[in-house]
Amino acid sequence: MTDLAHPTGPQSAQPQPAHPDPAHPDPAHPDPAAAPNSSVTPPPVQSARSRAAERVLGLLALVGTAVTVWLGLWVTPPDRQQGDLVRLVYLHPGVAWVALYLAFGLAAVSSILYLWPRTRSLFWDRLAAAAVEVGVVFNISTLVSGSIWGKPTWGVWWAWDARLTLTAVLLVLFLGYLALRRVPAEPEVRARRSAFVALFAVLDVPLVHFSVDWWNTLHQGATVLNPGLTLKIHGSMAWTLLLGFVSLTLAFVWMLMVRYRIGVLEDWLAANELDAALAERQAEGALPAGVVGGTDGTGGTDRGDGAPTERVGVA
């Protein structure tokens, strides 16, 4: 008589399915809970050409700035009136040039291009935000280097001079711009209101520029060019100053490229944060595929107070 509890013959030789190992899943039978969320878009990838250009710009800016400092401190002669204080001139005007005209000027142009319907794109919003953030760094550097020059010249670290005060106001305005961008909102709403704030803040730039002509200020007038657009410095001093302008401009472009790339990644993370979190939970097996709410391990849902709800399912 055949023993049904212990069958013999060819059927008993069939291998039994092994218990699935979460650490070594079977590729022939994938776990649906571990499938990636198809709604998560891949991160933006920087092209090889862009990476190479970014590195070259950074290297040129670093070398140029180092050479400017070397020439300014040890090669160029002291000024007849200012003495060794003139050595700050090789960096301070270049830093102010980047902050007031390049960074904040680019932010204003980018904001106009975003507000214009035919050119409206989040590219311009990201570019404006990157330019403002880099410009704030150079604006702070302008105030710090100006204070270092002002202490031995005026006898104080700070004076409520028209140009100094307006430059400080410009810094506060663009810090407000950056704070406004942190307020939660849809990307289009954030871009539109940020563009208006940038255009309002940039109105202070011409006030800073013409402050030494419109008011009786402590700050000296034009350092490089006189009203007739002729150079006021010559020889090695002029070449060192020119190298400083070029090097700091390259540093601004490099910082702008890096900050723009970070901004793109930040927008990608904000848009895919929830989907990426759900995909990670599903891959760990903690959240079954197709389930949005959490479970209490018994088939019911966890309300968050420690008391599971009644189990819903079929017996």
pLDDT in tens, 23-60: 444 544 444 444 444 455 666 778 889 899 999 999 99
- What total of structural domains would you count in the chain? 1
**CA distance linking residue 33 with residue 141, whole number of Å:** 53
User: How far apart are the C-alpha atoms of 273 and 158, rounded to whole Å?
Assistant: 46
**Would you say residue 284 lies in a domain?**
no
Pairwise pLDDT comparison (108 vs 292), residue with the higher score = 108
* Greater model confidence, 236 or 21: 236
Asked whether residue 169 carries a pLDDT value surpassing 90, the answer given is: yes
Provide the token pair at 220: 């000296």
Tell me, yes or no, whether 163 lies in a domain.
yes
Q: Has residue 96 been placed in a domain?
A: yes
The answer to whether residue 15 sits within a structural domain is no
Residue 298 falls inside a structural domain: no
The pLDDT of residue 119 is 95
Average pLDDT, the chain: 80
Is 60 exceeded by the pLDDT of residue 298?
A: no
When pLDDT is cut at 50, 70 and 90, the band that residue 294 belongs to is very low
The verdict on residue 122 lying in a domain is yes
| CATH number (domain holding residue 270) | 1.20.120
In a domain, 304, yes or no: no
Residue 25 lies inside a defined structural domain of this protein: no
Overall average pLDDT of the 135-155 stretch:
92
Percent residues over pLDDT 70 in the chain: 70
Angle at the Cα of 144 from the Cα atoms of 143 and 147, rounded to 5 degrees: 85
- Domain range spanning residue 159? 48-275
- Identify whether the C-beta of residue 212 lies closer than 8 Å to the C-beta of residue 96: no
